[in-house]
Amino acid sequence: MTHAHYQNEIYLRGLADEVPPFTTDTTRLEQAAEAAMAPAPFGYVAGGAGSGDTMRANREAFAHWRIVPRVLTGATTRDLSTTILGTPMPAPVLLAPVGVQSIVHPDGELATARAAAALDVPIVLSTASSYPLEDVAAVAGPRWFQLYWPNEPEVCASLLHRAKAAGYTALVVTLDTWTLAWRPRDLDTAYLPFLRATGVANAFTDPAFRAGLAKSPEDDPGMAILRWVSLFTGTDKCWDSLPFLREHWDGPILLKGIQHADDARKAADAEMDGIVVSNHGGRQVDGAVASLDALPEIVAAVGDRLEVLFDSGVRNGSDVLKALALGAKAVLLGRPYVYGLGLGGEEGVRHVIRSVLADLDLTLGLSGNTTIKDLTPDTLHRAHR
Ligand SMILES: Cc1cc2nc3c(=O)[nH]c(=O)nc-3n(C[C@H](O)[C@H](O)[C@H](O)COP(=O)(O)O)c2cc1C
Ligand SMILES: O=C(O)C(=O)c1ccccc1
């Protein structure tokens, strides 16, 4: 089942007077999920750093770019497919790494992985997943692994070894979250899921992590969780540390959380294979630049040296199209699929992916384009609002 089929399926439902189980306006999933989810997990997913300024800026940045449709271009059938760092995908869309998904739905990352696999859309599994990476791999299709870079080299090497053995093909190293930001929404409700058992599955199943504990995680879970958190808090890493990852990871490496062209150049100089232009969905630095506003300069600086991927604020097909036109090779979908998970587990995630892809396919065609290669800055107009 592809994006075009999903469009037909939704139309056929309409003919039969059947409403779809979830909204097809993927920009409205947040409101729908708020009504369906428990308040604390919803607040954790929806929330951002500080006042939420950067989260809002991420969305506003998309509104400043407008698509300029072209006609009579023969875009009746489209091809959205692409290959990024050896991974073929039906569309330039991956699921962003999101930790602790079992707070949203008991099946968590398993449901997400199944939904994505059914559509051949790659997932990026978080280090802080609520199911062990091997269990997720067993039900997943194309998969990349996201690393929160632990302070202990043995634990880092062990995680990388396990991820490789379980068939994760690319490594996404997240650099913008070496400690969690000031997030009033969670602080005000004392909701800190990463301090609970929801995000430690990969640690508790890791031999190197277990070897460093005085008591097993089963005997003293509190102590084990504290050690896991401390492994990711603060960092002595710098640009010179990257060769360690090369030594322990046989495959493409991308750096996630890049917002400055100079950092993008450093990533290219360090022979990284890609970057993810991202501000973590506005969850880290309040007042930071909108991720889409950072994109063009970064593409100009390094677009010919490594793969530039993008996230933060993508909500529908038009947003994907705009990020691609500004030079991203693919985008990562974040909160929208997590809301799908909260609304309807595996079925909800599948609905969200299909809706975004069907919308992208139609928007691409109706703006007069046949493939994603047709998209350039010329596809867009810079508007004042
Ligand atoms: C609930 C939640 C948990 C997240 N956990 C992780 C994570 O474990 N690792 C990571 O690299 N990024 C994590 N992110 C950031 C996402 O990968 C992505 O950068 C962000 O969601 C994109 O912004 P958007 O949600 O506005 O699209 C998380 C985001 C959310 C909303
Ligand atoms: O909440 C987040 O944004 C995040 O990246 C994270 C960090 C630790 C555990 C789970 C998610």
For residue range 114-139, list pLDDT tens digits in order.
Answer: 999 999 999 999 999 999 999 999 99
**Average pLDDT of the segment spanning 4-21:** 88
**Average pLDDT of the segment spanning 6-28:** 92
Q: What is the C-alpha to C-alpha distance for residues 227 and 235, in angstroms, rounded to an integer?
A: 14
Instruction: Say if residue 198's pLDDT is above 90.
Output: no
pLDDT of residue 385: 67
pLDDT of residue 281: 99
What sign has the CA pseudo-torsion 193, 197, 201, 204?
Answer: positive
User: What is the homologous superfamily of the domain 3-382 according to CATH?
Assistant: Aldolase class I (3.20.20.70)
CB 280 less than 6 A from any atom of ligand 1: yes
For residue 334, say whether it is annotated as part of any ligand binding site.
yes
ipTM of the complex: 0.99
Domain boundaries, the chain: 3-382
Per-residue CA distances from 289 to 15, 284, 315 (Å):
45, 11, 18
pLDDT of residue 188: 95
Q: Ligand 2 centre and the CA of 354: distance in Å? A: 26
Higher-pLDDT residue of 275 and 195 is 275
pLDDT of residue 1: 59
Q: Ligand 2 centre and the CA of 383: distance in Å? A: 34
Specify the residue with its C-alpha closest to ligand 2, atom 3: 283
Q: Is 105 marked active-site?
A: no
Instruction: Say if residue 145's pLDDT is above 70.
Output: yes
Lowest mean pLDDT among 165-179, 221-235, 270-284: 221-235
For residue 246, say whether it is annotated as part of any ligand binding site.
no
What sign has the CA pseudo-torsion 65, 261, 45, 325?
Answer: positive
Provide the pLDDT confidence category of residue 196 given band limits of 50, 70 and 90.
confident
Q: Which of 104, 146, 280 to mutate to test the pocket of ligand 1 (most atoms within 8 A of CB)?
A: 280
pLDDT of residue 5: 83
Q: What is the C-alpha to C-alpha distance for residues 249 and 243, in angstroms, rounded to an integer?
A: 10
Q: What is the C-alpha to C-alpha distance for residues 227 and 193, in angstroms, rounded to an integer?
A: 15
Q: What percent of the chain has pLDDT over 90?
A: 91
CB 146 less than 6 A from any atom of ligand 1: yes
Instruction: Say if residue 8's pLDDT is above 80.
Output: yes
Higher-pLDDT residue of 130 and 199 is 130
Specify the residue with its C-alpha closest to ligand 2, atom 4: 99
**Average pLDDT of the segment spanning 207-231:** 94
Q: What is the C-alpha to C-alpha distance for residues 149 and 143, in angstroms, rounded to an integer?
A: 19
Q: What is the C-alpha to C-alpha distance for residues 174 and 257, in angstroms, rounded to an integer?
A: 6
Closest ligand 1 atom number to CA of residue 313: 26
* Eight-class DSSP state of 380: E
pLDDT tens figures, 322-371: 999 999 999 999 999 999 999 999 999 999 999 999 999 999 999 999 99
